[in-house]
């Protein structure tokens, strides 16, 4: 599989006074892309453990170019860079622009931790989760 690619549609309210997607709203769009991978795509592959709890332990965002609001979807590419017993790192490449040409505007990473919500503490990745995530291993994006 390699890289998971999804489209996310920014809302008019995501725009700042300059016609760009606000930096904080960009983080929300990353969340929507992450949900598409870790919940919708994982469930489609029969991996339901992630639905029980997954938290962001670290977030880093590199804004390379303004993400211009033009009413069109942006493209988000996600890949798994690192997997440990109880965490994994997702890399994001966000593409968008004022035209149909998708330019890289943002790179980001999140360290994700599986979480036992009922008990209130982190848990180890299950074997089905590890197998699913391994399918999206790719080179890092340097964020």
CATH number, domain with residue 54: 3.10.129.10
Domain count, the chain: 1
d(CA 36, CA 34): 5
127: in domain: yes
Provide the 8-state DSSP code for 98. S
* 140 assigned to some structural domain: no
Position 128 in a domain? yes
What residues contact 118, with CB distance under 8 A and at least 6 apart?
none
Two structure tokens written together for 106: 């943002």
What is the pTM for the complete model shown?
A: 0.89
Position 142 in a domain: no
Residue 12 lies in a domain: yes
Q: Could you list the beta-strand ranges (E) of 85-135.
A: 87-96, 103-116, 121-122
pLDDT by residue for the chain (143 residues), tens only, comes to 689 999 999 888 888 888 888 889 999 999 999 999 999 999 999 998 898 899 999 999 999 998 888 888 899 999 999 999 999 999 999 998 656 567 899 999 999 999 999 999 999 999 999 999 999 997 544 44
Between CA 88 and CA 101 the distance in angstroms is 31
Of 125, 137, 107, which Cα lies nearest the Cα of 54? 125
139 within a domain of the structure (yes/no): no
* Residue 21 domain boundaries: 4-134
* DSSP, res 13: G
Asked whether 32 and 110 are in contact (CB, 8 A), the reply is: no
- CA quadruple 26, 28, 31, 32: dihedral positive or negative? negative
């Amino acid at each position: 599989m390699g890289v998971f690619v999804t489209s996310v549609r920014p809302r008019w309210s995501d725009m700042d006074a300059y016609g760009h997607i606000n930096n904080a709203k960009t983080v929300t769009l990353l969340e929507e892309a992450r949900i598409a991978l870790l919940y919708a795509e994982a469930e489609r592959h029969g991996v339901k453990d992630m639905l029980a709890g997954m938290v962001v332990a670290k977030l880093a965002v590199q804004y390379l170019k303004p993400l211009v609001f033009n009413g069109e979807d942006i493209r988000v590419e996600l890949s798994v860079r690192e997997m440990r017993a109880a965490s994994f790192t997702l890399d994001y490449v966000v593409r968008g622009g004022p035209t149909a040409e998708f330019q890289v505007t943002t790179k980001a990473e999140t360290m994700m931790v599986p979480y036992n919500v009922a008990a209130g503490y982190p848990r180890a990745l299950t074997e089905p989760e590890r197998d699913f995530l391994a399918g999206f291993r790719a080179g890092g994006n340097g964020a």
